[in-house]
A and B are shown apart, each in its own frame.
Chain A
Amino acid sequence: MMQTTQVEVKKKMKKDFEPNIIGFLCNWCSYAGADLAGTSRMQYPPNLKVIRVMCSGRINPIFVINALQQGADGVLIGGCHPGDCHYERGNYLARRRYAILRELLDYVGIDPRRVRMTWVSASEGKKFADVVKEVTDEIRELGPIQQLKRENTW
């Protein structure tokens, strides 16, 4: 009896849990895509907190890890489609870094699904909303991050 209620409580908590997701969006494509999603009145979860960067190639892996440390449950990186980068090759470089980082996180036991990357162009408002929905659902399923979280918050 006792156990079942505990499980139920846990389940309920999982359902109620609202993930905190940081989105690093590139100025030229994904940010504009997010803008389009907003101006076209598309609904998507408010869990994503956007940080605008000039290019996905600007994203140092420590940005991602630091976000997880400071209490983010997931990180979404948005860049231009391959070949579309405003700086010609930034997103290609980001793609390599992301592939290695994901493998490394998986290796030390942090769920790699917490760090996602997406290509969203300035005209893909619909895709942006869908991606945010998908990522939020996935991280809600995973629950709050247990590892990495910084202990001293002063």
Chain B
Amino acid sequence: MVNEKQLRDEVKKLVSRDDVKYVIGYEQGTYGFQVTPSFAFTPEEAERFIFSPLCANNLSVYLMLEEKPPLRKGEKEDTRKVGLVVKGCDARAVVQILQEKGLKRESLVIIGVPCTGVIDPKKITVKFPHQIKPVDVREEGNHYVLTINGKNQKIPKDELLFEKCKQCEYPTPVIHDVLLGDEVKSTKKEEYKEIKTLEKKALKEKWEFWSKAFDRCIRCYACRNVCPLCYCKECIVDQLSPQWIYRSVNRSENTVWNLIRAYHLAGRCSGCGECERACPMNIPLTMLNKKIEKDIKELFQYVAGVNLEEKPLLAMFKPNDTEDTIL
């Protein structure tokens, strides 16, 4: 993992620059295994920054969440840059946003952190429930060392890692202005094992599995709000005329919402898994996203968020695209 002093120095240097508005990073949360996003406007505020295996949040969502009120008469637009600390998967989301021209490359300063995997908060809270005081977590080789109440505990990495991190193909940010520490090379490969086994099942079984999952949905839209690539000015579920998806919470509407959410990320999802992490009802949303990711890899040989020069998947075509099922 990253040397935190180096990170803070780099952030301080950035924030003191005239053309940088603020830097987004992580700071120690108030309790348990929480790490909260932090915004540094001054070099002093940069002192709070940390980076630990608990930093699971994808901070690139804050780039799109920033409110830009209309300018007053005579007022000039604030064109200062925004700094951002990114891991491998977050960087892919940034590339995707840039590719779609959601942001300009000049408006960003990206601090890349070569990532060796982050801890799934759901897994760790199952292991240590009722943890109130903040916990220090370090990485040592193949283990995590947790300091709880002054005692050190060693836990194998595999038990706590996010599922996505176990198959991560891009641990080093594909886009960065500054890279902290050495590049991490990945030998892992995405195998889509879970998805392939579900795919092979009968239609009825698949529907049983998914309808059970979608029935749990309470339509809080946390999956949408946490997603760095869900930044439509007006989301389809907020639209009232025409109202495509009703607001009632029932199987039909829930299914359609989840399908449309997944579809809207087709060829854009970078697989950061934030939707599933934010979901309060534990719906396996990454299984939907990964399925589409796998399909476009097979059908169109396309991987989202890797190449800045490429056009978005659904905005281009090849004359020899698949035509098997067309009458």
Min C-beta distance of A134 to chain B, whole Å: 7
Those of A23-61 within 8 Å (CB) of chain B: 61
Taking a contact as CB atoms under 8 Å apart, the answer to whether A118 and B327 are in contact is: yes
Per a CB cutoff under 8 Å, which of B260, B322, B325 touches A61?
B260
What is the size category of the interface that chain B forms with chain A?
Answer: 35 or more
Determine which of B206, B252, B267, B313 lies in contact with A69 in the assembled complex, contact meaning CB atoms within 8 Å.
B252
Residue of B nearest to A97 (CB): B314
Q: Report if A147-B207 is in contact (Cβ < 8 Å); known contacts: A93-B314, A116-B327.
A: yes
Smallest CB gap from B294: residue in A: A103
Task: Please indicate the chain A residues that have their CB under 8 angstroms from the CB of B256 in the complex.
Answer: 62, 65-66, 69, 148
Question: Is the beta-carbon distance between A109 and B327 smaller than 8 angstroms?
Answer: no
Given contacts A66-B244, A147-B255, contact A104 B323 (CB under 8 A): no
Shortest Cβ distance from A13 into chain B, in angstroms? 19
Q: Is the CB of B244 within 8 A of A108?
A: no
Residues in chain A near residue B184, CB distance under 8 A: none
Contact of B210 with A95 in the complex, beta carbons under 8 Å: no
A100–B244 touching, CB < 8 Å: no
Which residues of B from 244 to 300 have beta carbons under 8 Å from A?
244-246, 248, 250-253, 255-256, 259-260, 262-263, 266-267, 288, 291-292, 295-296, 299-300
- Complex Cα–Cα for A110 and B292 (A): 16
Please name all residues of chain B whose beta carbon is closer than 8 Å to the beta carbon of A97 when the two chains form the complex: 314
Select one of B207, B245, B263, B327 contacting A100, CB under 8 A.
B263
- Judge whether B199 is part of the interface by a CB distance below 8 angstroms: yes
CA–CA, A109 to B203, complex, Å? 4
- Residue pair A109, B208 in contact (C-beta under 8 Å): yes
A108 x B207 contact (CB < 8 A): yes
A107 and B291 contact, Cβ closer than 8 Å, known pairs A95-B326, A151-B251: yes
- Asked if A6 is at the interface of the complex by the 8 Å CB criterion, the answer is no
Q: Is B310 an interface residue (CB 8 A)?
A: no
- Indicate if A72 sits at the interface (CB-CB under 8 A): no
| Residue B236 interfacial (CB < 8 Å) | yes
- The answer to the question of B205 belonging to the interface, with a C-beta cut-off of 8 Å to chain A, is yes
Flag A70-112 by CB within 8 Å of B: 1 or 0 each.
0000000000001100000100110111111111111111111
- Nearest B residue (CB) for A91: B317
* A104 near B259: Cβ-Cβ < 8 Å: yes
Residues of the A chain whose Cβ atoms lie less than 8 Å from the Cβ of B255: 108, 147-148
Are A102 and B325 touching (Cβ within 8 A)? yes
- In the assembled complex, the CB of A85 is this many whole angstroms from the nearest CB of chain B, namely 11
Residues of A within 8 A of B203 (CB): 106, 109-111
Known pairs A62-B236, A65-B256, A131-B327; A152 contacts B246 (CB<8 A): yes
A65 touches B260 (CB 8 A): yes
**Which residues on B sit within 8 Å (CB–CB) of A61?**
260, 263
Which A-chain residue is minimally distant from B203 (CB atoms)? A109
Q: A90: nearest residue on chain B (CB-CB)?
A: B317
**Interchain CB contact under 8 A, A147 and B211:** yes
Q: Is the CB of A82 within 8 A of B236?
A: no
Contacts of A148 in B (CB 8 A): 252, 255-256
Q: Which residues of B contact A92 (CB under 8 A)?
A: 317, 319, 321
Would you call B204 an interface residue if the criterion is a C-beta within 8 Å of the partner chain's C-beta atoms? yes
B327 adjacent to A135 (CB under 8 Å)? yes
Check if A65 sits within 8 Å of B259, measured CB to CB.
Answer: yes
Tell me if B65 is interfacial: C-beta within 8 Å of chain A: no
Which B41-68 residues have a C-beta within 8 angstroms of A?
none
Residues B207 and A95 in contact, CB atoms below 8 Å apart: no
CB of A93 to closest CB in B, whole Å = 6
Say yes or no for A149: interface residue by CB 8 A criterion: yes
- What CA separation (Å) do A134 and B292 show in the bound complex? 29
Q: Do the beta carbons of B263 and A101 come within 8 Å of each other?
A: yes
Given contacts A93-B317, A117-B325, A151-B251, contact A109 B206 (CB under 8 A): yes
Q: In residues 211-263 of chain B, which contact A (Cβ within 8 Å)?
A: 211, 236, 244-246, 248, 250-253, 255-256, 259-260, 262-263
- Residues of chain A touching chain B, judged by Cβ–Cβ distance below 8 Å, are 61-62, 65-66, 69, 82-83, 89, 92-93, 95-112, 116-119, 131, 134-135, 147-152
Question: What would be 10 A-B contacts, judged by CB atoms less than 8 Å apart?
Answer: A95-B317, A96-B321, A100-B299, A107-B198, A108-B210, A109-B209, A112-B325, A118-B327, A147-B207, A147-B211
Contacts A101-B263, A107-B206, A109-B208 aside, 7 further interface pairs with beta carbons under 8 A come to A96-B300, A108-B206, A108-B210, A109-B203, A109-B204, A110-B207, A116-B327
